């Protein structure tokens, strides 16, 4: 009988589980990034550096490996200064990679009296919180895919950070293994499609959303982009990787027809629906747990512009 107890103990020690992310954790991370102390996280400022350091600390907590070199912080030059992207990786059962990204910079602050900080809670502390949340979710898991987590800088100045990261020579072989990149952009609100629902830019260019919806858990649902005339697929950080022929789409919940907080001073934590954001994080986690290189291998069609 003793040998069966030993075998059971060995099996239990070998099994690692994903863990749901709490609303308290989501609130803490987003509130830190969108705090007045961060002064709007404008690239080229000390507060922007502080945001990068904060994200790197969260990656360290979750025992991620460095994407390259000896730091999560990947420097690039911006107007004669050093700015940082943040990147961490988690090995899975396969060399194939699912990548998750969001930009962490925003537009800074003003000199006016009173509320003068563009906190950027939705744009895009919410997206970064989702990326961090997924790294939390899979911290103790052994997923079928390897996982890559990226926080881009300088999106507000023309996607400077994602372009720099996509061109990093030491990472080209890693990028070639990415099966799909999920870029999260403004996910703080309940979408026009309801709770636990997002829309995807460029849905007409690949089967990414169909494959994701086929494996969706917790009633997670990805809808087509309702703003086709705005060409959002080519206006966010995902396009830096599209040009590398990586399957890369942006996902969002913001209703562009009614949102009054875009690049406004009222984009603070008061507009965040933390219940919905927490649900989205955990629903993505459960869904991604079902994905394998065999059942999730999206492809572009002939309509996409890869140049």
**β-strand 97-103 against 178-184: which pairing, if any?**
parallel
> CA-to-CA distance for 256 and 254, rounded, in angstroms?
6
Judged against a pLDDT cut of 50, whether residue 6 lies above it is answered with: no
Q: What is the pLDDT of residues 143-167, one digit of tens each?
A: 999 999 999 999 999 999 999 999 9
Whole-angstrom Cα distance, residue 304 to residue 204? Answer: 8
| pLDDT for residue 12 | 43
pLDDT, position 112: 86
Three-state DSSP at 124 gives: helix
Per-domain residue ranges for the chain?
A: 17-290
Work out the average pLDDT over 88-100: 98
* Total H helices, total E strands in the chain: 9, 9
Average pLDDT over the chain, rounded to an integer? 94
The confidence band for 3, taking pLDDT boundaries of 50, 70 and 90, is very low
pLDDT at residue number 273: 98
pTM: 0.94
Structure-model confidence comparison of residues 113 and 188, the more confident one: 188
Tokens representing residue 244 in the block: 């590398």
Question: Among 247, 228, 227, 226, which residue's Cα sits nearest to residue 304?
Answer: 247
> What DSSP line would sit under 4-17, residue for residue?
HHHHHHHHHHH---
Poorest-confidence range of 66-70, 161-165, 238-242, 253-257?
253-257
Question: For position 72, what pLDDT does the model report?
Answer: 98
pLDDT confidence tier of residue 16, bands split at 50, 70 and 90: low
DSSP secondary structure letter of residue 122: I
pLDDT at 15: 45
Quote the Cα angle for 57-97-100, to 5°. Answer: 45
- Mean pLDDT to the nearest integer, 181-205: 97
Architecture (CATH level 2) of domain 17-290: 3-Layer(aba) Sandwich (3.40)
Residue 267 has pLDDT above 80, yes or no: yes
Helix (H) or strand (E) holding 179: strand 178-184
- Least confidently predicted of 6-15, 48-57, 146-155: 6-15
Per-residue pLDDT at 4 = 44
Torsion over CA: 166, 168, 171, 172 (sign):
positive
Nearest partner of 251 among 295, 200, 178, judged by Cα = 200
The pLDDT value given to residue 229: 85
What residues contact residue 34 under an 8 Å CB cut-off, 6+ apart? Answer: 119, 120, 121, 125, 268, 269
CA dihedral 87, 118, 259, 86 (to 10 degrees): 0
């Amino acid at each position: 009988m003793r040998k069966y107890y030993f075998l059971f103990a060995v099996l239990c020690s070998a099994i690692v589980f994903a863990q749901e992310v709490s609303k308290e954790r989501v609130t803490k991370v987003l509130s830190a990034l969108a705090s007045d102390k961060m002064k709007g996280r404008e690239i080229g400022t000390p507060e922007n550096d502080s945001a990068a350091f904060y994200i790197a600390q969260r990656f360290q907590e979750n025992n991620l490996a460095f994407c390259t070199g000896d730091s999560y912080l990947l420097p690039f030059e911006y107007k004669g200064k050093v700015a940082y992207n943040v990147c961490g990786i988690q090995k899975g059962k396969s060399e194939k990679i699912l990548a998750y990204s969001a930009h962490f910079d925003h537009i800074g602050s003003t000199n006016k009296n009173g509320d003068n900080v563009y906190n950027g809670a939705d744009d895009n502390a919410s997206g970064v919180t989702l990326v961090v949340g997924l790294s939390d979710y899979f911290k103790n898991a052994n997923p079928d895919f390897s996982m890559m987590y990226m926080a881009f800088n300088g999106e507000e100045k023309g996607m400077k950070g994602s372009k720099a990261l996509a061109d990093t020579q030491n990472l080209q072989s890693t990028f070639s293994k990415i099966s799909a990149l999920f870029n999260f952009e403004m996910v703080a609100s309940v979408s026009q499609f309801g709770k636990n629902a997002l829309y995807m830019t460029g849905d007409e260019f690949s089967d990414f959303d169909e494959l994701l919806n086929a494996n969706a858990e917790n009633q997670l649902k990805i809808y087509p982009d309702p703003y086709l005339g705005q060409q959002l697929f080519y206006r966010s950080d995902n396009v830096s990787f599209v040009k590398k022929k990586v399957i890369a789409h942006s996902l969002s919940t913001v209703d562009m027809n009614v949102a009054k907080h875009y690049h406004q001073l009222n984009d603070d934590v008061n507009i965040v629906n933390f219940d919905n954001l927490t649900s989205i994080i955990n629903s993505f986690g459960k869904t991604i747990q079902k994905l394998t290189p065999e059942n999730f291998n999206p492809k572009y069609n002939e309509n996409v512009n890869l140049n």
